[in-house]
Amino acid sequence: MQIRDKKDFVSGLLLVVLGAGALLVVRNYRMGTAYRMGPGYFPVVLSLLLITVGIIIVGLAFRSAEVKFPNLAWRPLIIVSAAVILFGLILKGAGLALTTLVMVVASRIARPGYRWVETVVLGVVISVACAGIFYFGLGIQMPLLPSW
């Protein structure tokens, strides 16, 4: 058998691996029944559905026409991922408002061509919106301003 669509094949394998990983995480949760669901019932069902869809996509990869892999934009992938990690690391000390501003600015660096004024204005608007929604609206327990 020959894999004709490598993109679908890799995507299907990724879904199977994610589903299997989720099953490993929830393996000790109580299942319950369909009538009285335990904490593990829904995650197990979703994991099995994810594995099933992944297997179907892998099977279809053997039938479909060959597709070339697109070029991957590494710079945005790495910088945006680093910005999300940075958000998690500095949130407690820097506060939600400053951390959101830093994340927006770091994410905009991933793609050149934006003016700094636009970036800072966008960061301030998103910081204010996040503060309004998460801190004041939902009352999520996190610092709003830096605790230095």
pTM over cut 0.85: no
- Phi, then psi, of 32 in degrees rounded to 5: 75, -160
- Structure confidence at residue 60 (pLDDT): 85
CB 120 within 8 A of CB 100: no
- Structure confidence at residue 75 (pLDDT): 87
By percentage, how much of the chain surpasses pLDDT 90?
32
Mean pLDDT by 10 residues, the chain (148 residues): 80 94 91 85 92 92 66 86 89 88 87 85 93 89 81
Sketch the domain layout of the chain as residue ranges: 6-61, 74-137
- Report the sign of the C-alpha dihedral through residues 106, 111, 113, 119, in that order: negative
CA gap 37, 17 in Å, rounded: 25
Token pair of 13, please? 């394998």
